[in-house]
Structure 1
């Protein structure tokens, strides 16, 4: 049997499996099986975790993320926050503690702001997401339609499109269709995450997300960060910025182009269980 913990951040759900528990398994195949919504546990991805035993009090660890389709992703902001909540519960962390998580996109420090454990276990966390790298870009999709946007790296790739309509449509096409076309576009040989951002006020935006390896999803920590960085850089809004996705809202603080972006949101542990090995 393989033990797991399921957690979610703004509806973006992940399974946390230790590397020891997954030893001897093909992680890509295991992820596809576990993440299946109908025949498995169901999740957007699996975070494979190992403690950093050199760090005192077990406040540090390493994760490797596989998307639901089995592909490897450099990082998920929401997935990292889910792991931080799991670590916090495991070691009995307190508000004010900082947990260090090594990802394929580099080290992420997760500051515990608050813990709510009266009914369930929810942790409010601020995560340092690194310094975003932005490049304006126009992508030409089938039919000759040119889609202007901003290429943003938050440790993983994003393409952020600013829209001016409540349907998040681009050139009369549904955002899901545009997202799929750009995600697998030849301009992005390793594919890209695609976000659609609509400004609601100088301090608030709403987004939709087409995630690489997943498709349309309710939330994304790195997508939230990339969307915020794109619209802040264009002078359309100011920091701090509230970013609303279908799964909930997160807050982004980014005060200078050379500063580390800070992402604040919650993560909740949902369940623990075991799955049969195959």
Structure 2
């Protein structure tokens, strides 16, 4: 029997298990029909009153260095457990380094956090798909890998293909032996963008914290967007602030606790 909590950040859902990392358990728990259902499992080890070490397994059992949304979901669980109030700091060590989440607001089981997401690395790239199509994009590291594509089409199509098809082709491309997250950006204004996400280890998903940061960094660096950028995804909105190269990027967004219980797996 495994005790768990479940939370989501803009529809990107995670299970939080206090205990040692277990890839096989994560796969069973994440199954939508035969398990609890989630995009991933964050395994939490406490190291202090509001501090911990987390390790993330995606739904397919692969290891992810970090999830911005997953980190925030764990922060929500800690805030709930420790009765945190606005201004309290929650520190979580991830495979991509230490991340600090500041509680902005708490209402019942709903929390709003501002979190430091490290210093993004941005450079141009391109991928040649199996049909010969060459896709230009921006390669961004936010502690994990991203390939960001700008699109004009409101349906997010690229060269006549759906973003889901293109996303899958790039995610599993030989140029990315560890696979990569793929994001598609439609610029709405200097201050606002809309995105779609094909997440490594998950597939199409409603939101991604690191993906939100990656798309914002690419849009600020390559398209001259505002350093305070609203990012819309199917699951909701998050705000990113980034002053540019060499500076830490900050993500502000919600996390909501859904349930806690025992899984008989």
* TM bracket (short chain): over 0.9
The reply to whether residue 40 of structure 1 matches residue 35 of structure 2 is yes
Q: Which residue of 1 aligns with 2:90?
A: 99
Listed as ranges, the matches of 1:149-228 within 5 Å are 149-228=137-216
Which ranges of structure 2 fall in alignment gaps of 5 or more residues?
none
Q: How many Å separate the matches in 2 of 1:49 and 1:161?
A: 33
**2:25 pairs with 23, 30, 49, which one?**
30
* Large movers: runs of 4+ above 4 Å: none
Which ranges of structure 1 fall in alignment gaps of 5 or more residues?
none
Q: How many Å separate the matches in 1 of 2:41 and 2:102?
A: 22
Q: Secondary structure at the match of 2:5?
A: strand
Give the RMSD, CA atoms, in angstroms: 0.9
1:163-211 CA-to-partner distances (Å, cap 9, x unmatched) read 0111101110000000000001011110000000010011000000000
Q: How many Å separate the matches in 2 of 1:61 and 1:138?
A: 38
* Structure 2 length-normalised TM: 0.98
The reply to whether residue 265 of structure 1 matches residue 253 of structure 2 is yes
Q: How many Å separate the matches in 1 of 2:128 and 2:115?
A: 34
Deviation at 1:16, TM superposition (A): 0.1
Deviation at 1:144, TM superposition (A): 1.2
Q: How many Å separate the matches in 1 of 2:29 and 2:177?
A: 27
After superposing the two structures, state which structure 1 stretch, 252-261 or 222-231, moved more: 252-261
